[in-house]
Amino acid sequence: MALDLTPDEQARMRRYLDQLPDLGGPNPDLGAQLHAEKNAPWINGTYSHLKFPPFRPAEYPKMLYSPSYGDARKAKDAALRIPARGTEDGLRAQALLEAERELQASMCIVHDADEERERHGAWYETPTAAEVAKERLAQAVAQAAAESAYTDRTMSPAAQAERAAYDAEAEDHVVEIPAPRKRNHHRTQS
């Protein structure tokens, strides 16, 4: 967008540019004069010196978040609230290091659609979506535990004992016990 200047105003501005001080020698101000003439507002427009490429949003690379991101963020904030005690800052530094590692592990960058497809279901586009997925998983586990507890009450004492034994062996909560393998009582004839 060029300024609309009359020919008289243009001539006056050119005379002003020609009157730049001459310091002698091979005209050390020639560069400044040429710059001023090239970038004069009546030639290229008012903001001609601000040449930036237009912003073009790109889909990739993209940051993805795991459901543990919210907890990792809270751990980092808690570590930052630990007071600094000068040179005896080991506890705070260790807490910050662990929190930062946990936070970095809960984020990943994908560079194309194939990488994103590989991580679908375990990684989410926003921290909010990851938190919603975590809540849904917790609700599903709670529902499964409630259903399991209900069926446990209606089982026979022998089945309840089998269930208790299987629960004791398992590390996590067990929703369903696999059916025992049946032994083959048929003898093979030789």
Tell me what pLDDT residue 148 has: 79
Angle at 166 between CA 160 and CA 168, to 5 degrees: 105
Q: Distance (Å, rounded) from C-alpha 114 to C-alpha 117?
A: 5
Do the beta carbons of residue 42 and residue 10 sit within 8 Å?
yes
Quickly count: other Cβ atoms within 10 Å of residue 165's Cβ.
11
pLDDT at 98: 94
Predicted pLDDT of residue 127: 93
pLDDT at 7 (0 to 100): 86
Q: Which residues pair with 126 in a beta bridge?
A: none
**pTM (predicted TM-score):** 0.54
Tokens in use for 112? 């194309």
Per-residue pLDDT of the chain (190 residues; tens, 9 = 90+): 456 778 888 888 777 777 765 545 555 566 677 776 676 666 666 665 566 566 677 888 899 999 999 999 999 999 988 887 776 678 888 889 999 999 999 999 999 999 999 988 889 999 999 999 999 999 998 898 888 788 878 888 888 888 788 778 877 766 667 676 766 666 665 5
Q: Check: CB of residue 92 under 8 Å from CB of residue 79.
A: yes
Residue appearing with tokens 């909010």 = 128
Say if CB 177 and CB 166 are below 8 A apart.
Answer: yes
CA angle 119, 125, 127 (to 5 degrees): 115
Question: What was the pLDDT predicted at 101?
Answer: 95
Return the pLDDT at 67: 92
